[in-house]
Amino acid sequence: MPVPYDGTTDWHCGARYGPAAILEASQNMELYDLEIDCEIHKIGIHTLNFVQPAMEGPSHMVDSVREATLQMLNEDKFVVALGGEHSITLGLVQALLSRYPGLSVLQLDAHADLRDSYLGTKNSHACIGRRLWEVCPITQVGIRSLSQEERDFILAEKLNPFYMHNLRPIGSSIESILSSLGDMVYITIDLDVFDTSQMAAVGTPEPGGMYWDEVLPLLRAVMDTKKVVGFDLVELCPAEGTSSCAFLAARLAYKLIGYRFKDLETAVSR
């Protein structure tokens, strides 16, 4: 489900072009995945029409995303959203909560996004962590930038983000991350969680991030041990980086679908 929206971005705009760039890059991938040892596309991957931006404002956009997600859930589809800015995640999680009341969220992100309001709206991409926390438990991983307001909120609410400076080696942190999640998980990945050497094409880059070979073991462990009910990739801003950034995002989406459905694909192949 492509969602080309960046109505609240405040520095480098252009995340609205992220979904198209990811889809274009996906047409140049090998369909066989060496790690998973299968061609996951055989289970059937459908690309929906773009969810059109709601120009009335960010709250209306959240509503649009929620309604589009509910329609897919009613058809028993596994929804993968391609953003677009991070504010779209709220609509996805609201829809999924109606079906999975015990849902928890894994948020991979450079930023805490725990402000209550930013630039006049509570539905800013800078507030998505706070909005998610209000509706379900969240586990934040890769955080390395936050405001004083957010730090005060973390202390007051006794939150325990997995800060980037405490993550390495990633293998020593995976079990703790898994333990912090419930049985049913939604994964939201702000692509700025990656180090800028691998992902420069984001609106608000932060140095010192995670690497491809650190992100994948964590995500595979979550997929192997939890019931993952959907995921999104957000904040790709293609103009800020090389085409390799869009390719990384496309490969990541394909690989996550593979982690989730590898057993089904094996059955289909046989």
Helix (H) or strand (E) holding 104: strand 104-108
Q: Once rounded to an integer, what is the mean pLDDT over residues 6-14?
A: 86
Here the tokens at position 61 are: 């956009």
Query: Contact 236/18 with Cβ under 8 angstroms?
Result: yes
pLDDT at 264 over 50: yes
d(CA 127, CA 18): 20
Contacts of 43 (CB under 8 A, 6+ apart): 257, 261, 264, 265, 268
Label residue 13 by pLDDT band (50, 70, 90): confident
Q: How do residues 116-160 score in pLDDT, each as one tens digit?
A: 999 989 999 999 999 999 999 999 999 999 999 999 999 999 999
State mean pLDDT over 86-97: 97
- Three-state SS for 226? coil
| The CATH number of domain 2-269 is 3.40.50.2300 | no
**Per-residue pLDDT tens for 235-253?**
999 999 999 999 999 999 9
The separation between the first and the last C-alpha atoms of the chain, rounded to the nearest angstrom, is: 29
| Domain range list for the chain | 2-269
